A and B are shown apart, each in its own frame.
Chain A
Amino acid sequence: MTAPASAPEHVLVGFVRSLRRAGLAVPVGSTVVFAEAVAAVGGTDIRQVYWAGRTTLVTRPEDVAVYDRVFGAVWRGLTPVVESIATETFTLLMDAEDEADAPPTEEDDDDGLEGPTLVVRFSPHEVLRHKDFAAYSHAELDEAHRLMADLHLAGALRRSRRRRPSRHSRGHPDVRRTVRHALRTGGEALERRYTEPDERPRRVVLLCDVSGSMEPYARALLRFAHAAVVGRARVEAFALGTRLTRITRELSSRDPDTAMGQAGLAVADWSGGTRLGEGLRRFNDQWGVRGMARGAVVVILSDGWDRGDPDELAEQMARLHRVAHRVVWVNPLKASPGYEPLARGMAAALPYVDEFVEGHSLASLEVLGQVISR
């Protein structure tokens, strides 16, 4: 279908399509508002059209760069307006990579430790539970992912400012319900009602190291993050490498393959180096200290191998520790016998860590789930 370039609504709709194709999530309703906005500003001055579009089509500062690029391309006539939505294909980065590489770094599979007498009937789950993620096959990873969905990650409870009706006759008087009840007894407030503070789960923030040294574990832990994000609303996930990437949105797709694919695309520094200190600093500046980490359970999934400055890491950990409810460090290497936190980064961070747990197998992630909700 080719529309005459002169029809303004075709140009506007085409522009929105180009935006969608470039990855912006623009709801249909916004296109209508955009058209109204362009009509309101006159639509003759390119700058006003630019701002009309930015106000109505962009809802996150991260999207401004994409918007600028597409706007430049479409409006300055560099590329033709997209007329059809291309079917999007996702490259499943993590899944494609995993079979060939990822040599099992630890030979000692933990399933030897589980007493064979305990397992009456052979259950693949039971074996899988204690198997090191590094030794997983692709199929096992899929299986593990299903099991992770049952983990039900929930932050520790805290008192909320919201109040709920209490069953006990103590606490704050609940005048609203007392009056309601009084009506039934002819206006005499015979029975008094009370409220007590409600309890809410704390926010859980997952910071997942995606550097090269974490590669065998990162794909499993990312699936853990996915299961957590999909399972509950108050979980935030970030990928930590040489840069910091927020992947909560990418992981929020219910379909695990789509979610993993999206996250893989979003994380540009997959399997690169790590500068934990810098990444944490960015997290603290942009998200954490401003509110996301306040009173939250912050979980860092990393082996602590760090190419950055350990002092910076210590400083940022201290900052994080000051605002967070608890800081949990999950180190898959901790499971190996004789492990000492000697990696520079790990040693620098450890003083500010409330809980130091392993995270190399499903069973250890179950433990992590308990630690988080404690």
Chain B
Amino acid sequence: MQLDDVSRALADHGYLADEGLTTAIFLALELRRPLLLEGEAGVGKTEVAKVLARWTGAELIRLQCYEGIDVAQAVYEWDYSRQLLHLRAAEATGEVTGGAEALEDELYSERFLVRRPLLQALTQGDGPPPVLLIDEVDRADDEFEAFLLEILAEYAVTVPELGTFRAEVPPVVIITSNRTRDVHDALKRRCLYHWVEHPDFDREVAIVRLRAPAVSETLARQVSAATEAFRGLGLYKPPGVAETIDWAMALHALGRSELDAGAVDVTLGTVLKYREDQERARRDGLAPLVAAARERAGS
């Protein structure tokens, strides 16, 4: 596999990555290391995992992190209600022969094991290695990160009652973070790292064209130019690529093939999601903004 193959394959499956991100993805696949992606919300971090799964035809296993996530939700849990039922049944039929110990072995067998995303990703049998997306790892707490560390180092999980599950082929691991806090150094050390930037103007136009093919080229260019201008305003939440695409589609749905002040006014909520940001954009008037965007798009 070459670098060019990666960039072509990503593009074929709907993702236009710049040189840095392409290299990072290539290295993650080639060196079989987890890839940690950080960047502003809406620059397309999560999308990387989805497009990798589409490309390799592997299953996408997603673990959304949140505060307080623990082993029972991330790795495995026992199916307690079935265990209880089994206990009752065993008791009713008097089937148990080996006493309490045998009963315990029966209860804690794979039959009653509920596989959560991390275990699932390690025990996927056939086919290409699955893509494991660990989304917004910065939302989870330190305890969970420490646990993750163990799994990512060995690609193995130990269930005390059953033994160790080890991945024959390690999954492709994509970890994303919005950087609300620093991910622990030990975790970073095991990962490749890439900071995902907002795309430049031409790439953004290409992305809009690719993701919203119905939108006219002119509109795509003008919308990208306007978003680029918004990012320079010092807003609370500068719009990401996701917003650009939404905005282009919204304008298209309203039957626009070019940007005008009236349309921007009514659709501003698809791209700027803070009242203060909208006020800031409107303060200098939307007409000059539209004019500037048209000019930038035309050049």
Contacts and interface: CB of A to CB of B under 8 A. Distances in A.
B142 interface: yes
A19 to B, nearest CB: 14
Most chain A CB within 10 A, of B38, B41, B139, B179, is at: B179
A41 B3 contact: yes
B80 A59 contact: no
Contacts of A51: 19-20, 23-24
A186 B91 contact: yes
A235 to B, nearest CB: 11
Interface residues of B, number: 52
Contacts of A294: 180
Interface string A31-58: 0010011001100000110011011101
B12 interface: no
Nearest to B88: A187
B100 interface: yes
Given A48-B23, A162-B70, A40 B107 contact: no
Contacts of B31: 33, 36-37, 40
B70 A61 contact: no
Nearest to B87: A187
Interface stretch (B188-196, B200-208, B287-295): B188-196
Interface stretch (A126-134, A176-184, A212-220): A176-184
Contacts of B169: none
Given A40-B31, A59-B188, A179-B80, A291 B181 contact: yes
A47 B3 CA distance: 12
Contacts of A3: none
A290 B180 contact: yes
B88 A55 contact: no
B162 interface: no
B120 interface: no
A187 to B, nearest CB: 4
Most chain A CB within 10 A, of B23, B180, B236, is at: B23
A162 B68 contact: yes
B33 interface: yes
Query: Per DSSP, are chain B's interface residues mostly helix, strand or loop, or mixed?
Result: helix
A363 interface: no
A233 B26 contact: no
Interface in B24-69: 24, 26-27, 30-31, 33, 36, 38, 41, 66-69
A89 to B, nearest CB: 24
Interface in B268-284: 276
A188 B3 CA distance: 61
Given A55-B194, A59-B193, A183 B103 contact: yes
Contacts of B179: 290
B189 A161 contact: no
B27 A55 contact: yes
Contacts of B81: 175
Interface in A128-169: 160-162
A64 interface: yes
Contacts of B135: none
A289 interface: yes
Contacts of B38: 61
A187 B100 CA distance: 8
Given A37-B31, A48-B3, A160-B68, A292 B90 contact: no
A27 B80 CA distance: 44
Contacts of A54: 20, 194
Nearest to A284: B236
Interface string A297-339: 0000000000000000001000100000000000000000000
A291 B138 contact: yes
Interface in A51-75: 51-52, 54-56, 58-61, 64
B168 interface: no
Interface in B85-125: 87-88, 90-91, 96, 100, 103-104, 107
Contacts of A175: 80-81, 84
21 contacts: A25-B185, A33-B31, A37-B31, A37-B192, A40-B26, A51-B19, A51-B23, A55-B192, A55-B194, A58-B193, A59-B36, A61-B38, A162-B70, A176-B78, A179-B107, A182-B84, A184-B100, A187-B87, A187-B90, A290-B41, A291-B180
Leading 8 A-B pairs by shortest Cβ distance: A291-B180, A161-B68, A175-B80, A51-B23, A187-B87, A59-B188, A162-B68, A61-B195
Interface of A: 25, 27, 29-30, 33, 36-37, 40-41, 47-48, 51-52, 54-56, 58-61, 64, 160-162, 175-176, 178-179, 182-184, 186-189, 200, 233, 236, 248-249, 284-285, 287, 289-292, 294, 315, 319
Given A41-B26, A189-B84, 14 more contacts: A25-B185, A33-B33, A41-B23, A41-B27, A47-B19, A48-B23, A51-B20, A59-B188, A161-B66, A183-B100, A236-B181, A285-B236, A291-B178, A292-B180
